Structure 1
Amino acid sequence: MCIAIISTAHPEYALILINNRDEFLDRPTKIADWWDAPNSNVLAGRDLLRAEQGTWLGITKEGRVAVLTNFREEGEIKPEARSRGGLVTAFLTQPRDSDESTEDFVTSLVEGDGLKGIGGFSLICGKIGEPLAVISNRTPDVHGISWIVKQRDETIGLSNAVISDRSWVKVTEGEKLVGEMINEHETAKGSKDELLHSLFQILSHDTLPRFGTSKDWQSQVKELRKSIFIPAMGGETTKQASAEDLAAAKTNTQLSVEKSEVKADSNALKGAYGTQKQTVILVANDHRVTFVERTLSTQGHMKDSLHDIKSFEFVLNRRKVSVR
Structure 2
Amino acid sequence: MCILFIANKMREDYPLIIAANRDEFYARPTAPSTFWDEHPNLLAGQDLEANGTWMGVTRNGNLAALTNVRDPQNINNNAVSRGELVANWLKQDSVDRSHAAQSQYLATLENTRSQYNGYNLLFGHVDALRVYNNVNNSTHFIEQGVYGLSNADIATPWPKVTQGVRALNHYVTNEDVINDDDLFGILRRDNKADDALLPDTGVGYEWEKALSSIFIQTEKYGTRTSTLLLVDKNKTLTWKERCFSDKGEILETREFSFSI
Under a length normalisation based on structure 1, what TM-score does the superposition of the two structures give?
A: 0.72
User: Counterparts of 1:127-142 in structure 2 under 5 Å?
Assistant: 127-130=125-128, 132-140=129-137
Per-residue deviation, 1:95:
4.2
Superposed CA deviations along residues 180-229 of structure 1, whole A, max 9, x for unmatched, are 1112322xxx2x5xx111000000011038xxxxxxx9432122453111
Question: Partner amino acid for 1:104?
Answer: Q
Distance 1:74 1:295, change over 3 A: closer
Partner of 1:254: none
Question: Partner amino acid for 1:137?
Answer: N
RMSD value, Cα: 1.9
Match for residue 157 of structure 1 among 148, 164, 187: 148
User: Counterparts of 1:4-153 in structure 2 under 5 Å?
Assistant: 4-8=4-8, 9-37=10-38, 39-50=39-50, 53-97=51-95, 101-110=101-110, 112=111, 114-130=112-128, 132-140=129-137, 144-148=138-142, 150-151=143-144
Q: Distance in 2 between matches of 1:40 and 1:90?
A: 14
Q: Distance in 2 between matches of 1:76 and 1:179?
A: 34
The structure carrying a bigger strand percent of its residues is 2
Gap regions ≥5 residues in structure 2: 194-202
Partner of 1:184: 174
**Greater relative contact order (Cα 8 A, min sep 6): structure 1 or 2?**
1
Per-residue deviation, 1:76:
4.9
Question: Partner amino acid for 1:56?
Answer: W
Helix, strand or coil: the match of 1:286? coil
Per-residue deviation, 1:25:
1.7
Q: Distance in 1 between matches of 2:210 and 2:104?
A: 36
Question: Partner amino acid for 2:36?
Answer: W
Q: Percent identity?
A: 34
Helix, strand or coil: the match of 2:182? helix
Structure 2 residue 259 is the aligned partner of structure 1 residue 315: yes
Q: Decide whether the 8 Å contact of 1:139 with 1:145 is kept in 2.
A: no
Structure 2 residue 153 is the aligned partner of structure 1 residue 169: no
Q: Decide whether the 8 Å contact of 2:58 with 2:93 is kept in 1.
A: no
Per-residue deviation, 1:136:
1.7
**Structure number with larger C-alpha Rg:** 1
Superposed CA deviations along residues 264-299 of structure 1, whole A, max 9, x for unmatched, are xxxxxxxx2111100001100101011000000122
Q: Decide whether the 8 Å contact of 1:169 with 1:225 is kept in 2.
A: no
Q: Distance in 1 between matches of 2:247 and 2:66?
A: 25
Match for residue 205 of structure 1 among 175, 189, 214: 189
Gap regions ≥5 residues in structure 1: 210-216, 235-271, 317-324
Superposed CA deviations along residues 7-37 of structure 1, whole A, max 9, x for unmatched, are 1212211210010111112311010000113
Q: Distance in 2 between matches of 1:179 and 1:97?
A: 31
Distance 1:298 1:224, change over 3 A: closer
Q: Distance in 1 between matches of 2:169 and 2:75?
A: 38
Equivalenced residue count is: 248
Q: Distance in 2 between matches of 1:178 and 1:116?
A: 34
Under a length normalisation based on structure 2, what TM-score does the superposition of the two structures give?
A: 0.89
Q: Distance in 2 between matches of 1:107 and 1:224?
A: 36
Per-residue deviation, 1:146:
1.4
Q: Decide whether the 8 Å contact of 2:45 with 2:56 is kept in 1.
A: yes
Per-residue deviation, 1:173:
0.5
Partner of 1:269: none
